[in-house]
Structure formats: structure tokens, C-alpha cells
Structure 1
Amino acid sequence: MSRYKGSDFLRSVTLLVGGTAVAQLLMVLLLPVLTRLYSPQDFSTLSVYLGLLSIFSVVATLRFELAIPLPADNEDAANILALGLVCSAVTALLVALVLYLCSAELANWLGAPELSRYFWILPIGILLSGAYSSFQFWMGRRQNFRAVAKTKMQQAFFAGAVQLTYGWFSGGALGLILGQTINNGAGAMGLVWQSLRSDARLLSSIRPARMKQMFGAYSRFPKYSTLEALCNNASIQIPVIMIAGLAIGPEAGFLLLAMQIMQAPVSLIGSAVSQVYISKAPEKLREGQLPGFTQDTLKGIVQLGVLPLVIGGVCSPYLFSFIFGESWERTGEIVVYMIPWIAMQLLASPVSMVLHTTNNQPLAMGLQLFGVVVRVGAVAIASVIAPLQLTEIYAATGFLFYFVYLLVVLKVAGVAPSAFFGRNRIILLSVLVIYLAQFMFMLIGPVV
């Protein structure tokens, strides 16, 4: 990323990373307290709720938020923003209706009967997530990354306050679930307020007729990107829900904590780079600079994300019992299995936006369908032939999926895989040696 030193790209990424870093640091610092206030079973219940929330939230807007950066006219973009908000409200209402009719049956089918008492929160969470995602892309278009960074910190503060307070005085999964919902709410309200202050004139241009026109102009997003996003989240969340129902003990709770720790680099670096990448990629494509831009972006991710991820991850078996409590030792082992998966995700996810920039939504959808088949299918088969290794197999399929995804994205961006791996060979070989050494030691010798 040295080519962009002093550029708007690097400043924007740094600003978003800074805001996200403060938020992630706060949540990580709170986790050792939360694991002592809440049980692994509470986290297991949370994992099922978050799985459902993630699956519905990512399709609530029909993916119109991805189209917000694309029009040349800001008023067109404002009407696309309105489309995303309306679709989110309709999705939340439909989910609320279904839950009103059969919440108990659904909770029993998911293997989490206690969740039926908390289902009333799910439609609220879907609406807030859709609103936050839409306004986040709107702020990216308006180059107001400072507002997005600020909401990241607001989210972490309010979510942590609710979870700590509820856990201290009452306990139970409801505190964790409410915290996650307020997390999205604080961010959405902050971006709405900022948008009304700075972009009131543009937002006043929203009209039903123009929204209909934008729906037709960008119909490829609901046609292709919605199913793509649904498959992407389903490939991640459905196996977690299956593990919660099939595994012995609170395995899904251990897995959720591992995912929260390991997804921090993806949120910290990947999400920030992704948001800025998609805001700059259309211009780079028009100028014929997309391959070099993608190469430099990936090199920065390797240096700033993959190397620290692997070094920190291999230490987890030695640290988790001390940091989170003796009952969470299993989480440290899961983290080691997840390192290849998260490293590939950290590389592929930010630059995967090139598929939308180049109008390759059908290809993106096909990739995500592949992910669902591989990841859900592998866990389903493992539940029969290797029921004690569900989590390990789930982690392995994550690596396989994102490795294939990265190769496809490189091809679309015009980057030769050999050029990418050759340019980063020293760091990639170093992290491979570090990881394999720890992995083999964990398999053949006890962790002390």
C-alpha cells in the first residue's frame, strides 16, 4: 500500500481502522469479564440467535446498499438508500409475522427451546442492521468515514454496557442478545442523525417514482447479490446452528467465542479496507488501474493482517484458560484450527467487492452456492461419520472455500495468482512455518 501513502485511500482506511480498533479493543477487553458472567451455554444460545440475525440481516436490504456508491448522481444514490431502508422494514415485518405464528416450534426445531422467549428481539435487530448497513455505504459515498468510525465506538460502548449490567445483576442469554441488538441500534441512529444534518437536501430528493426507477436500473443486486449474500452467511451460520443442536455440550458456545476473537481482524482491517476499496474501485477500473490497485491492497492486508493474525492465533492454547477462565480451554484449541480459514477470509473478503464493481454478480452468487454446498454438506456428513470433529471439519471447509474464492477474485481483478504469491512469498512462507509448527505440536503433545 506504499503507492497510496498520503492518498485519500490510505487516510480513509486508517480512519476506519482506527475507529474499528477502539471498538474491537473494548469488546476484547470485556470478553474475559463476560465469560465469567455468562456460561458457555448462554453463548451457545447467542450463537443460534446471531446465526438467524446474520442470515436475515444480510438480505434484508436486497443488497441495494452495494449499489449506493455506483451512480454518478447523488440524488439517484439517495433513492437507492431509501430502497434499502424500505426493504429492511418489509423483511423485519415478515419475520415478525412468522415468529408470531410459530416461535416455539422454530426454537424447538433449532434445538434451542429457550430462544423462543427472545425471538421478539429478532425483527428489531434485522431492521437496525439493515439501516446501519445502508447508511454505512451512504457515508462511504459521501467520503464521511469519520462518522462511520465514530459509530463503531458507539456500538461497542453501548453493547458492552448492556451486557455487563445485565450479566452482573441477572445473567442469562438475554443480556448477550440485547447487547448485540443495541450494538446495531447505536450505530444506525448515529449515522441517521449525521446524514440528516449533512445531507438533508439530498435526502429530500427521495421520491417513490425515482425509487422505482432505481430498482429497475440496479435490479441485478436483488436478483444475484441477495442470493449470494444469503449463501455466504448460510455457509457460515447454518453449520454453527447445526453444531449447537448436534454437538455434545456447549460446543457452539466455545465456537462462538473463538469466532468473535478471530473475526476481530476481519472487522478491524477487512471491513475497513472493503468499504474504501469499493468506493475507489469503479474509478480505478475506468482508469485501467484495477490490477495494480488490487495487488497493493492485498499486500497491505498480508503485512498488516495475516502476519499478526497467525502469530497471535498460535499462542491461543496457552492463553485462553488464563484469560477467559478454565471452562473456556476448548476455545483456544478451536482458534488454532480456524487460523487458515480466517487468514484466507481476511485476504479474499475485502477485494471480493471487485465482483460487484465488474458486474460479475452471477459469478459471485455461484461461488457462494459452492460455499453452502461444501460447508453445510461437510458438517452434515461429519455429524454421521465423525460427530466429535464437527468444529474442526467446519474450520477446514472455511479455508477451502475462501482459498477458491481468492483465486477467482484474483482472476476477475486481472491479477495472476503467481504474481500475488510471489510478491508476498517471504511473509506467506513465514506464517506457514509458524502455523504448521504450532499445529503439529498441539496434535502430538499436551499444551502446558
Structure 2
Amino acid sequence: MKEFLLNLSRKKFVRNVFIMATGTAAAQGVMMLFSPFITRLYGPEIFGVQGVFMSIAGIFAPIAALAYPIAIVLPRKREDAKGLAKLSLYITVVITLLVGLILFLFNQPLVKWLQMEEITSYLYLIPIFIFFSGFLQVIEQWLIRENKFSVSAKSTFLHALLLQGSKVGVGFFYPLASVLVILSTAGQALKAVLMIGMSKDTWKQTDDNKNNPSLKVLAKEHRDFPIYRAPQVFIDGFSQSLPVILLASFFGPAASGFFTICKTVLAIPTKLIGKAVGDVFYPRITEAANNKERLSDLIKKATLALGGIGIIPFGLIILLGPWLFELVFGADWERAGEYARWLALWGYFKFINQPSVKSLAVLGVQSFHLGYTIITFVVRMAALTVGYYVFNNDLVAVALFGVTGAILNFLLIFITLRISKRFDSQFP
């Protein structure tokens, strides 16, 4: 066993996953340490307002650069990757201005539809959030390309410590929704600054080839990202965000607050292990495809490993959700534990599908990913709507949402494995 662990630790992939997971674990530890104070200071309704703000921002933030940052990892030439980074930043500025104009013109109809007057004051922070999100996406993907996983790990920890500490420190004096919203927006900029500050040498490196690539040529060469990936991440962001918005509209801000805290808790395993595996897996499977290795084996092994790891945390939530939430977050949050039992089903399969999601760009099936995301969006929104109009019960709505999400994520893994086997058959 000792020799096996020693050999495992020497593998670059495992080592990088461990680095990413360590930083994320520290960040999640900080978040869990501060969470009992934060939830008792602010309460479900205030969390609901922040949840609605983050949900609206979360619809547009993933497409701040039309998904071009994801392509930064792919080019063999470093100057091409730099060109994609510049292109992404230019697009981010344009998208930010466009969203700002839309909110200026349609802010009142949006507030009326949400039935939440409390959100009015914060809508104009959304373009700022989107700008820093696009900036952050570029930096994160560049560091992944450069294999600077230790920088990502350190900045993730410091970001969590400063952000969560600020929520508690300010909340003791001003436990208001505005505090959570403003700090969430500033948090995007903070993480970007931390990452840049810790990786100065990476940005100062010069290229051997002084011929800067045409941004127009790069945009055309990687056009499948804005054509297929950007709509996919937009619809996925909409799908992730709309439940909070609908729950607030259907059942009030407290329901959206319960859902928001559930998403935060259930995201811990994904951020701790799943995202670390995904971020390291992406350049690894890109390299494997270039070397004509068997991609289906890589996807299967990574998925099974995550499946074994995820059983414990998600299983505990299913068994003990209400008790755990009341113990950790306070008596006001027991209902959130009931939500969490059903959402854990969805969370588990979302946790183990990271290798499949990261593989789709490499497999060249982003059109499939877009179609799958559209179907997922329709089914999950239908589940919430049925829960409201047929049963008029928030818990039933969340249960339907969780079960359908689990089924759809399982199907994604199954179909991706089938596609990867067809891809492998090209290279006997």
C-alpha cells in the first residue's frame, strides 16, 4: 500500500489534483467556519435577496467573453493563447456595456416579474459583476494552461478568508442584504487581483515568436465556442439561476434563501474535489487526444473515482439533512435541510459528471452539449412549475427538480462515454 501511494503521488495528474483540492479544501473550510455566523446574522430572507441578485448575474457572467476563455488551454502556440486572452477581454467589455444598457431600459419590468422590490437597488451592480467575472475567467484559464495550479489554490484560500471574514465583520454592525450583494460583487475583482499578484512571472514571459496572431483569425478558428459553448453555458447558467428566481416569485424570498444555502453547501464537494479534478483533467485529456490515447478509459476512471468519493458527503445529506442544517446554521434553516435531501441526488451526479463535461470540447461535440443543456433547462423548469401550479408546495417543487436533475446528469455521463468510444475507434 505504501509503495502504491508513493507511485500515485509521483503522477503529475494526481499531484496537480491534490494541489487544487488542498487550496479548495482550505477555502471551503474557511467558508464552513464562518457560515454558522453568517446565516445567524443575515437570515433566510436576506439570503434570498442575495440569491436572486447572484442568480441574475449568474445568467450573464458565464458568457461575459462568449466562452472564448475556455479555448485558451487548447492552442499549441503560446502567442495564440495570449491572443485568445486579449480577444476575451475585448468581448467582456462589449458584453458588460450591453447588459448595462438592457438593465437600464428594462429594470422595472424585471423587478415587477420577480415581485421583489428589494432587488431594485442592486441591479446596476450586475454589469460590474459581469465585467470582473469575464476578467477572472481569462486569468483562471491562463493559469490552467500554464499549470500554475498552486497559484489557483493559494488565491482561492485567501479569497475565501477575506470575503467570508468581511461578511461576518461588517454583518455584526450592518446585517443587510446590501452588504452581501456588494461583497459578492467585489469578491470577483478580489480573486482576479490575487491571482495576478501571485503569478507575475507568468505574465512577464515573452514569446519566441514576435508575430502577434490576428484576433479575427483566432476568433474564426475557435468560433465553435461562441456558436455552441456560449449558448450552452448561457442556458446552463439560466438553468442554474432560474430556480432561485422562480422560488422567490412563487413562494417568497425565504424559499429562495433556503435553496441558495443548499446550493452553497452541496457545491462544497464539487468545489473541493470535482472542480479540481475537472480543471486538471481538461489539459490532461487535451494532451491525450493530441497523443491519440484512449479517452474513454480516462473519462471512465475519473468518473468512477469521483463516484466513490461522492457517496459519503451526499449520502450524509440525504440521511441527516434537516438535523445537520439546524445544527450548523440555526433553527431557521431546518427547512433548507429538507430541500437539501432532494437536491443532494442532483448534486451527486453533477459532482461525478465533471470529467464528461470537460471532455465534450475535446471530443468536438459542443453542439450535442448545447442540445443537452436546452433539454435540461426545459425539464428542470417544468419540474418547478409543476410543483407550484399542481401541488402548490415548495418542497415538492424542489424534490421534482432534484430527481430530474439526477437523471439528466446520469444520461450525460452515459452518452459522453459512448461518444468517447466512437472517438477512440478512429485510432486503432
Give the structure-2-normalised TM-score. 0.92
Among 61, 69, 72, the residue aligned to 2:65:
61
The structural deviation recorded for 1:273 is 0.8
Contact kept, 8 Å, 1:163 with 1:178, in 2: the verdict is no
What's 1:352 paired with?
357
Contact kept, 8 Å, 1:158 with 1:182, in 2: the verdict is no
What's 1:435 paired with?
none
The structural deviation recorded for 1:181 is 1.7
**How many Å separate the matches in 1 of 2:306 and 2:214?**
39
What's 2:421 paired with?
414
SS in 2 for 1:43: helix
**How many Å separate the matches in 2 of 1:223 and 1:254?**
35
How many residue pairs get matched?
A: 416
Contact kept, 8 Å, 2:69 with 2:137, in 1: the verdict is yes
The structural deviation recorded for 1:14 is 0.5
SS in 1 for 2:217: helix
Give the structure-1-normalised TM-score. 0.88
Task: Write the letter of the residue equivalent to 1:394.
Answer: F
Task: Write the letter of the residue equivalent to 1:281.
Answer: I
**How many Å separate the matches in 1 of 2:338 and 2:251?**
16
**How many Å separate the matches in 2 of 1:159 and 1:207?**
41
The structural deviation recorded for 1:298 is 1.6
Task: Write the letter of the residue equivalent to 2:411.
Answer: V
More displaced 10-residue stretch of structure 1: 289-298 or 126-135: 289-298
Among 379, 397, 400, the residue aligned to 2:407:
400
CA 1:226–1:206 in structure 2 vs 1: closer, same or farther (change >3 Å)? farther
Deviations 1:97-130 (Å, cap 9, x if unpaired)? 2223333332222222111111222111111111
Contact kept, 8 Å, 1:263 with 1:342, in 2: the verdict is yes
Q: Structure 1 residue 379 and structure 2 residue 377: aligned?
A: no
CA 1:298–1:191 in structure 2 vs 1: closer, same or farther (change >3 Å)? same
What's 2:167 paired with?
163
What's 1:337 paired with?
342
The structural deviation recorded for 1:276 is 0.6
What's 2:138 paired with?
134
**How many Å separate the matches in 2 of 1:202 and 1:274?**
29
More displaced 10-residue stretch of structure 1: 182-191 or 98-107: 98-107
More displaced 10-residue stretch of structure 1: 180-189 or 361-370: 180-189
Among 149, 153, 157, the residue aligned to 2:153:
149
**How many Å separate the matches in 2 of 1:85 and 1:24?**
29
Contact kept, 8 Å, 2:72 with 2:82, in 1: the verdict is yes
CA 1:206–1:394 in structure 2 vs 1: closer, same or farther (change >3 Å)? farther
The structural deviation recorded for 1:51 is 0.8
The structural deviation recorded for 1:186 is 1.5
Among 5, 10, 15, the residue aligned to 1:6:
10
**How many Å separate the matches in 2 of 1:202 and 1:381?**
57
Task: Write the letter of the residue equivalent to 1:65.
Answer: P
What's 1:26 paired with?
30
What's 2:103 paired with?
99
What's 1:257 paired with?
261
Deviations 1:198-219 (Å, cap 9, x if unpaired)? 2324489899862221101100
Alignment RMSD: 2.2
Task: Write the letter of the residue equivalent to 1:142.
Answer: E
Among 50, 53, 56, the residue aligned to 2:54:
50
Q: Structure 1 residue 115 and structure 2 residue 122: aligned?
A: no
**How many Å separate the matches in 1 of 2:12 and 2:284?**
9
Contact kept, 8 Å, 2:40 with 2:330, in 1: the verdict is yes
Q: Structure 1 residue 314 and structure 2 residue 319: aligned?
A: yes
Deviations 1:301-326 (Å, cap 9, x if unpaired)? 12323333313542222222122111
Contact kept, 8 Å, 2:143 with 2:152, in 1: the verdict is yes
Task: Write the letter of the residue equivalent to 1:108.
Answer: K
The structural deviation recorded for 1:196 is 4.2
What's 2:77 paired with?
73
Task: Write the letter of the residue equivalent to 2:243.
Answer: P
Contact kept, 8 Å, 1:53 with 1:122, in 2: the verdict is yes
CA 1:164–1:205 in structure 2 vs 1: closer, same or farther (change >3 Å)? farther
**How many Å separate the matches in 2 of 1:254 and 1:141?**
37
**How many Å separate the matches in 1 of 2:39 and 2:89?**
35
Q: Structure 1 residue 301 and structure 2 residue 343: aligned?
A: no
What's 1:430 paired with?
none
Task: Write the letter of the residue equivalent to 1:402.
Answer: N
CA 1:13–1:172 in structure 2 vs 1: closer, same or farther (change >3 Å)? same
**How many Å separate the matches in 1 of 2:207 and 2:355?**
28
Q: Structure 1 residue 239 and structure 2 residue 246: aligned?
A: no
The structural deviation recorded for 1:190 is 1.9
The structural deviation recorded for 1:290 is 1.4
Alignment of 1:354-373 (within 5 A): 354-373=359-378
Q: Structure 1 residue 290 and structure 2 residue 313: aligned?
A: no
Contact kept, 8 Å, 1:158 with 1:179, in 2: the verdict is no
What's 2:93 paired with?
89
The structural deviation recorded for 1:191 is 2.2
Contact kept, 8 Å, 2:20 with 2:152, in 1: the verdict is yes
CA 1:104–1:166 in structure 2 vs 1: closer, same or farther (change >3 Å)? farther
The structural deviation recorded for 1:58 is 0.6
